[in-house]
Amino acid sequence: MNDEKEEKEAVYIFSDEPATQEIKLKSKSGEVKTFTLRELMGDALSKWQAYDASRISVSRNRIDMAPDAFKDYSATLISMCLFDDLGNPVKISTIRNWPSSAINGIFEICQTMNGLNVEGRDKAKKA
């Protein structure tokens, strides 16, 4: 009898279709609008990563952040992932007018959907 466990090679199957998630936003007037969050494709992911990295300057002994490093940070990622009912991207200027609870909640979903936070990276490893 062999006490050694056989190691199996992991097989990962990914889709070339971006993940999507429908969300709803209730306006001040009570109207409920439906939007679609869509996972970033490779070129858009690269643009987000370049934007994210551009906010920080690293030298030998210090790390500096631009004074406006967080300006529209959440809204930028959301605008890259969020589409209206006609399939048009939602503009940053529109997102700026939403309350922080909506922005923060949608931003967190975008991060997870794109593997940009711990939860999203863990989910991708289990796929």
- Whole-model pTM: value is 0.77
121 falls within a domain = yes
pLDDT of residue 34: 97
The range of the structural domain enclosing residue 57 comes to 41-80+91-126
More confident residue, 126 or 81: 81
Q: How many domains does the chain have?
A: 1
Residue whose C-alpha is closest to residue 80's, from 53, 56, 114? 114
Round to whole Å and give the CA distance between 26 and 33.
6
Q: Which helix (H) or strand (E) holds 47?
A: helix 42-54
17 falls within a domain = no
**pLDDT (tens digit per residue) in 59-73:** 777 777 666 767 789
115 falls within a domain = yes
95 falls within a domain = yes
